[in-house]
A and B are shown apart, each in its own frame.
Chain A
Amino acid sequence: MRIPVKTLAVPVVVLVALALVPQFAVDIPYVFKDTLNTPGTLQLLALCLVFGGLAMTYDLLFGFTGLLSFGHALYFAVGVYLVAIAVTKWHWGFAVALLFTALVAILLPTLLGAVSLRVGGIAFAMVTLAFAQAGSILAFKNPWGWTGGEEGFGTDYTKLPDAFVGILNTKNLYWLALVYAAVVFAIVRWVVGSSPGHVWQAIRENELRVEVLGLRPFGYKLLVFVIASFLATAGGVVYLLTQTGPSTEVTTANFTLTLLVMVVIGGSGTKWGALLGGVLYTWANQRLGDASSSHAVSSLPPVLRTPLQQPAFVLGVLFILVVFFIPGGLARTGRLRRALKLS
């Protein structure tokens, strides 16, 4: 298949520009607290990219196939927890742990997807929520001392590849996160343009019509469920490397809701929307946290100061505003403006 140069140009330019980021020691005031190539900033950027990629995997379900899952956190958490448990508690090698996790990342969504896709709509949302909740309860309850309960535990870093351990190697982590986001982007573009991808979008528009055309939606939906879940688990592994160890917050229903917020803010079912939303949300969450301790905010009267100190509140309000005033998300604003001009 020949891909026209034009469709490749923008992503490649963005990728190259992002890959060069650790080489520049420039200050970008207000956007980042520290210089661009310091470990602190690179760590934040790596997180942004991981969540950008993760948001794209969620968008594959929500935006492109119309499946509203409330359990995506489960598959991300599998990547975070399983690798950490395998190397720390079972003393496996990193490569074996990765292989095992990859196997689980295919089998688990195949099994759970086959069960939950028997129902549609709200019931599907609830079943996925229930499965994810089961995973979350497991992580909190600390069975056999594996998950470390609410606090989580520290990964045994001696088992991890040296290139990703230590503060000096933050730029490698950044590159890893960049590779993750780029690979997810490429895969999402590829599968959405493939022939199953067209069926997914047809299912989103009108599932009954797909059935009338003689196709069975179940298999297609299961396929997208497994692909999205597998990529989410891969993201979990990358996330784990950027953290000292797993913690329960990535298993909760609220975490999946956050993904939904990212995708909707960015624009669901668009080329760049989910990536943009994930990156912006993560960045804003972090920077609003920094800003709340800054002088500008702490000198405000308490009525204004108290809400501003909670990034989740500001982002929640922002999210409601986007739903009201920019339906379709940030990625669709251009199209919206054009539509307004035409009418």
Chain B
Amino acid sequence: MLLTVTGVGLGALYFLIASGLSLIYGLMGVLNFAHGAFITVGAYAMWFTESKLGGVPIWPRFLLGALVGLVVGAVFAGLVELVLIRPLYRRHIEQVLVTVGLGLSTTALVIAIWGNDARPVPAPAWFGETTTLAGANIPNDRFLLIVSALVVLLALTAFLKRTRYGLIIRAGVENRAMVTALGIDVRRAFTLVFAIGGVAAALAGVLSNVYFTTVDPGRGTSLLIFAFIVVVIGGLGSLRGTAAAAVVVGLVQQYANYYASSGLGDLSVVLLLGLVLLVRPRGLSGSFA
């Protein structure tokens, strides 16, 4: 039971990262290597805020830190799109290369400023305590992960289905040329999608701070690789496929790590990706690729 909940929790973390990646790829055709930077920036913004609020009680300190993390993540991602991605409109390879450079240099900058070591991130003690569920003691932070991801999934679905911008984004994923031909400026939706992806990634960064209780510069990159795997397994551009794949990957990883040996979980996820791609080259949902 503990394994299952932890696996789903981990899957929730992957989903938060992968949903942004998937949306960005679906709409713009850009595989965003800077997504790891969004996670790192969000996680560090939270840690930095908390470290400046030494005397404040833990709950407001934690919530304020999380909020700053999310806002910084959104603003950073939006700016990246405006300043770096937009001028290279329609040149996909160059856009991907720029995100690669951004990912590398952001990590290096974080190392330059705050060093390579992991920093402890204070969080309310409640997250470390356990709740007994079906006879198993489960740390509360797992529930936080799962609930956050569910909220994001529902909010994103509602946004895409119910609002005008959501409609433009969905139409843009299907056929961008047609949307443009109808006189709608898709580029504004690009910035929006980047900002949404940035918030989700920063949320993943904030939650990973709670889950690992520390923050380190390599966090973004290591999570990003699994998020890539999730996106590809789920089918590029599909939100529901991504959610399903995230849970599967999280579970497989946890079970293999526990029942076989540690490290085998990561390996079996990789094998799973190979298998899925060979059987269904377009991923589980098989919509856009």
Show the binding face of A for B, using Cβ within 8 Å.
Answer: 115, 118-119, 122-123, 125-127, 129-131, 133-134, 137-138, 140-141, 253-254, 257-258, 260-261, 264, 306-307, 309-313, 315-317, 319-320, 323-324, 327
A133 to B267 Cα, complex, angstroms: 8
Q: Which of B84, B87, B266 has the most CB of A within 10 A?
A: B266
The answer, yes or no, to whether B177 is at the interface (CB within 8 Å) is no
Q: Which of B107, B111, B112, B229 has the most CB of A within 10 A?
A: B112
Task: Report whether A141 and B101 are in contact in the complex, using a CB–CB cutoff of 8 Å.
Answer: no
Task: Report whether B94 and A323 are in contact in the complex, using a CB–CB cutoff of 8 Å.
Answer: yes
Contact of A260 among B84, B97, B262, B289 (CB under 8 A): B97
Task: Report whether A313 and B108 are in contact in the complex, using a CB–CB cutoff of 8 Å.
Answer: yes
A323 to B101 Cα, complex, angstroms: 9
Provided the pairs A127-B274, A141-B263 are in contact, do residues A313 and B100 lie with their beta carbons within 8 angstroms?
A: no
Interface residues of chain A: helix, strand, loop or mixed (majority): helix
* B interface residues, how many (CB within 8 angstroms): 40
Task: Report whether A316 and B225 are in contact in the complex, using a CB–CB cutoff of 8 Å.
Answer: no
Task: Report whether B100 and A257 are in contact in the complex, using a CB–CB cutoff of 8 Å.
Answer: yes
Which residues from chain B contact A133 at a C-beta distance below 8 Å?
225, 266, 270
Show the binding face of B for A, using Cβ within 8 Å.
Answer: 25, 31, 33, 84, 87-88, 94, 97-98, 100-109, 111-113, 221, 225, 228-229, 232, 236, 262-263, 266-267, 270-271, 273-274, 277-278, 281, 289
Which residues from chain B contact A134 at a C-beta distance below 8 Å?
267, 270-271
Give, as a whole number of angstroms, the nearest-CB distance from A94 to chain B: 30
Task: Report whether A309 and B112 are in contact in the complex, using a CB–CB cutoff of 8 Å.
Answer: yes
Task: Report whether A131 and B270 are in contact in the complex, using a CB–CB cutoff of 8 Å.
Answer: yes
Give, as a whole number of angstroms, the nearest-CB distance from B6 to chain A: 19
Contact of A127 among B88, B112, B263, B273 (CB under 8 A): B273
Residue of B nearest to A309 (CB): B112
Task: Report whether B274 and A130 are in contact in the complex, using a CB–CB cutoff of 8 Å.
Answer: yes
Task: Report whether A316 and B101 are in contact in the complex, using a CB–CB cutoff of 8 Å.
Answer: yes
Which residues from chain B contact A140 at a C-beta distance below 8 Å?
263
A-B contact pairs, 15 of them (CB 8 A): A118-B278, A118-B281, A126-B229, A130-B229, A137-B263, A137-B270, A141-B263, A254-B104, A261-B104, A264-B97, A306-B112, A307-B112, A320-B102, A323-B94, A324-B87
Residue of A nearest to B232 (CB): A126
Q: Beyond A141-B263, A317-B101, A323-B88: 13 further Cβ-contacts under 8 Å?
A: A115-B274, A125-B31, A130-B229, A130-B273, A130-B274, A134-B267, A138-B267, A254-B104, A261-B101, A319-B101, A320-B101, A323-B94, A323-B98
Which residues from chain A contact B107 at a C-beta distance below 8 Å?
312
A137 to B269 Cα, complex, angstroms: 12
